[in-house]
Amino acid sequence: MNQNLKDLNALKKNLEQLKAIYHGQQGEQAKLQEQEASLKESVKEIHEQGECLEQVRLLLMEAAKHAREQGRRQVELLVTQGLQFVFGDDLEFKVVVEEKRDRPEAEFYVCSTYGGDYRVETTPQDARGGGVVDVISLALRLALLHASRPPVGGPAILDEPGKHVSDEYAPQLAQFLKGFSQSLGRQVIMVSHNQHLADSADISYLVELHQGISKVRRIR
């Protein structure tokens, strides 16, 4: 009888231990279920954030394309105006942007009929000699300065602009620079040997070399 009682007490003790283990495991299971639910929620949020970021990325790409297209048109317009102002209405500047190696690259062209009936596209260096290249280079610099974001303040400082432009077109180049300065409200400071450009300035200084010493005097 005493043995049966001992066995019964041992069984009760084992049962209590098993119950404690069971309840402990239930608690662990509940914690794991909570962690699983939390992880699932985190995965869901990350997935939603990923979709949102992808949409933002696509939006930024489209915005960049739009901004690039706007910039391209501004550059084309200003350089074309410069070419036509100096050389006449038969010239047009064109910018072609293509994706190469996952990055945009620009090619420049000059369009002209050359007084004929057919429109021809050439690279700037092949279009009517160095004078055209000089004007394109100058107009490009001014266009980029004007279209830069954020804006770049201060004067436009030019060294020998239109160096290879012939005397025939130099007066028009001078007027183009003056028009740029007046229309955009930006001062132009330049160094030039061209008398037409010097005469177009509001203030001109002559720099002369005497016995190795530079002397400056105001002439306008």
pLDDT of residue 177: 92
Query: Which of 93, 70, 85, 73 has its CA nearest to residue 183?
Result: 85
pLDDT of residue 100: 76
As a CATH number, domain 153-220 is: 3.40.50.300
Other CB atoms within 10 Å distance of the CB of residue 134: 20
Q: What is the pLDDT of residues 74-109, one digit of tens each?
A: 888 888 999 999 988 888 999 888 877 777 788 889
Q: Are 147 and 74 in contact (CB under 8 A)?
A: yes
Residue-range domain boundaries for the chain: 153-220
Q: Is the peptide bond before 150 cis (omega within 30 degrees of 0)?
A: yes
Q: What is the pLDDT of residues 43-71, one digit of tens each?
A: 887 777 778 777 766 766 777 788 888 88
